[in-house]
Homo-oligomer: A and B are copies of this chain.
Amino acid sequence: MSDHDELLARIQGVSRLAEFNQWLGLEVTAVAPGEAELVLQWKKELGQYSGFLHAGIQGALIDTACGFAAATLSGHVLASQFTVRCLRPAVGQSFRVVARVVKPGRQQIFTAAELYATDNGEEKLVASGDTLLVPVAS
């Protein structure tokens, strides 16, 4: 197994431990040192009152992708704080979130992410966010 395949398998294993990620049907589609990409297929249970992707799910995608990006460098991590900026209505058949470590550190890890929706074949940026994480003893 290549280093990349091992890293991908490790992060996919962490994701499987999270019951909520399983319910979502979240797929870890790509990783690299300091980076992670997740894909989620729309289902109606993910909607808010007007049928857009619930802001809480947008937050879950951003927070999770940021956590996985950090975990590629640091083992176990916990989010201290995260922010979601809702740029456009999150409407689509599938969603892709891409996260990266902006600044790693021993005490804290700064990360950022963008969330894209694919609606009728066209992909658009719908939200951005950032997460500050702390490494924890595993």
Contacts and interface: CB of A to CB of B under 8 A. Distances in A.
Contacts of A63: 55-56, 59, 84
Chain A contact residues (Cβ within 8 angstroms of B): what range?
Answer: 35 or more
B55 A79 contact: yes
Interface string A15-47: 101111111000000000000000000001111
A128 B110 CA distance: 10
Interface of A: 14-15, 17-23, 44-50, 54-57, 59-61, 63-64, 67, 78-88, 102-103, 107-108, 110, 112, 125, 128, 130, 132, 134
A18 B79 CA distance: 26
A88 B103 contact: yes
Contacts of A20: 45-48, 54, 56-57
A102 B112 CA distance: 14
A59 B63 CA distance: 9
A85 B60 contact: no
Most B CB atoms within 10 A — which of A17, A18, A108?
A18
A72 to B, nearest CB: 15
Most B CB atoms within 10 A — which of A85, A87, A132?
A85
